[in-house]
Amino acid sequence: MKNQLPDNIKKDIKEIENDNTSGSVELAKKSAEIIINLVNQTGDLEQIKKASLSLVEAQPNMASIFNLVNNLMFYIDKNKKQQLKKIVTNYCKNYLNNLENFEKKIKDQAINLIKNRARIITHSYSSTVLGTLLFLKESKKEISVICTESRPKNEGIKLAKELGKNKIKVKLLVDSAIFSLIPYADIILIGGDAITENGLINKIGTKGIATVAQHYKTPIYALCSTEKLLPKKYPINLDHLKNPNEIIQYNISNVTAVNYYFDLTPLDFFTGFITEKEILKPEEIKEIIINLKIHDNFSDLLSDEDLDIPLI
């Protein structure tokens, strides 16, 4: 079949789909590499479109992947007189460069915001948060960090290890214990997988932390470049359930383990969003989102449904 993707590409996309531990930026980088590989193998636009759609479907909540391929489609439309291989390769390389620059710019914003001796709370694992905390340390700011385990996959322990290895003092708590410390922290920094007009999509538990932070007026910032922003009608899927064995490994009569990975936190709960441009307020994020467009390649995905997790 002409439109069937090559086996190696299918395998790579499957790996993206099964990747439960990498952050959004890492997955976007891998996706860009898959697209570059594909255009080198085939040079066929239909295949590029098909792979783009498959990548979005593999990790529908990862905005960086969607923005990579959505903007690629618009870029191809605009430059259709050039050779496809050249367009795609240039675009992807540029996107990857941008991602790295964005991280640097986020760190620069953060260092101005965070005072010396700050007691910082974070949740789960975010490569942007990790990079920023390490940059604070390199910049001779004394910080201490409070990490959550982040059940079921314990990515918070992974973050704690990286911070500890770099001589940052860390307190590690079970997820439920973080609320008691929120009133005493100077700032809460979290990552984010995507931002829609309805809220920030991030690792499960963010919603509780942000609600309590708002109650106690503890400043809470999401570290997100604007390539995490998603247009209206983009079909976020929060009730996509993961393997229940990550919660319990045996059967209990009448008990169903329900394994959500992500939750949705209203944008207004955040003090601000540290982006590559500047620190944006919730209403500024909403204004940007209104103007985002979805390419026709993804029109079959569009949804009018409400985004929050329904009670299953």
Kindly list the residues in this chain that would bind a copy of itself in the complex (CB under 8 A).
Answer: 119, 147-152, 157, 160-161, 163-165, 167-181, 183-185, 203-205, 207-209, 211-212, 214-215, 238, 247-248, 252-260, 263-264, 308-312
Structure tokens at 281: 């307020």
Residues 258, 228, 259, CA angle at the centre, nearest 5°?
Answer: 5
Q: Which long-range contacts link 290-293 to residues 24+ away (Cβ below 8 Å)?
A: 290/197, 290/232, 292/229, 292/230, 292/231, 292/232, 293/74, 293/231
Could you give the CA distance from residue 182 to residue 147 in angstroms, rounded to a whole number? Answer: 12
Could you give the CA distance from residue 136 to residue 132 in angstroms, rounded to a whole number? Answer: 6
Q: How far is the CB of 164 from a copy of itself (least distance, A)?
A: 4
Helix axes 84-113, 63-78, angle to 10 degrees: 140
Q: How far is the CB of 205 from a copy of itself (least distance, A)?
A: 3
Q: How far is the CB of 232 from a copy of itself (least distance, A)?
A: 21
| Contacts with 234 (C-beta within 8 Å, 6 or more apart), sequence order | 66, 196, 294, 301, 302, 303
| Complex with a copy of itself: residue 252 or 290, whichever CB lies closer | 252
Q: How far is the CB of 83 from a copy of itself (least distance, A)?
A: 47
| Complex with a copy of itself: residue 177 or 302, whichever CB lies closer | 177
| Complex with a copy of itself: residue 55 or 209, whichever CB lies closer | 209
Q: How far is the CB of 243 from a copy of itself (least distance, A)?
A: 12
| Complex with a copy of itself: residue 1 or 312, whichever CB lies closer | 312
